[in-house]
Amino acid sequence: MAEGPRVAAARNRAASAKRALAALSVVGFLGAFVLVRAAHPGAAAPPATSNEDSSSQSQNDDESRGFGFGGGSISPPQRAVPDVQTSTS
C-alpha cells in the first residue's frame, strides 16, 4: 500500500525529532565536560594579559590555596607517656 502524504509528513517529523535529541545529547555531554575542566585545579590557565579573562588562573590559585594547610596546634607535652605514636606507615 502506498504511503499517503500524512504518513510521509509524520515520518519526517519523527526523523527531525531524533536529530534534535541527538544534538541535545552532544551539547549536554560537552556542557558537563566543560564544567569538569573548569572545576579542576590543574586546568591549564590562559596567559594573563590585560585583555583576557583570567578567571581560570584565579580559580586555579583559589583551589590551590583552598587545600588548607593551616598551622598545626602543637605544644610541649604534659605527660611522659604518649597516648599514641606517629611513625611512617
Partner 1 sequence: MGVQVVVAGADDSAYEAIEEHFERWEQVFSRFRADSELNRVNASSSWLVRVSLLFAGTLRTALAAASATDGLIDPTLGGALTAAGYDRDFALLEEAGAPAAEGQPGEWRSVRSGERFVFRPPAVVLDLNGVVKSLAVDEALNLLPGDGFVSAGGDIATRGETTVGLPAGEAVKLSAGGLATSGKTRRRWLRAGQAQHHLIDPATGRPSTSHWLEVTVAAESCVAADVAAKAAFLLDSDGPGWLEERGLPGRFVAPDVVFTNQVWKEALAP
**Which residues are near partner 1 by CB under 8 A?**
32-33, 35-37, 39-44, 60, 63-89
* Least distance between partner 1 and beta carbon 57 (Å): 12
Q: Which class for 63: exposed (0-12), middle (13-18), buried (19 or more C-beta within 10 A)?
A: middle
In this complex, which beta carbon is closest to partner 1, that of residue 49 or of residue 87?
Answer: 87
In this complex, which beta carbon is closest to partner 1, that of residue 26 or of residue 84?
Answer: 84
Q: Are 32 and 41 in contact (CB under 8 A)?
A: no
* Least distance between partner 1 and beta carbon 4 (Å): 45
Q: Are 53 and 36 in contact (CB under 8 A)?
A: no
* Least distance between partner 1 and beta carbon 29 (Å): 9
Nearest to 64 by CA among 33, 40, 34, 89: 40
In this complex, which beta carbon is closest to partner 1, that of residue 14 or of residue 28?
Answer: 28
SS3 89: coil
In this complex, which beta carbon is closest to partner 1, that of residue 5 or of residue 66?
Answer: 66
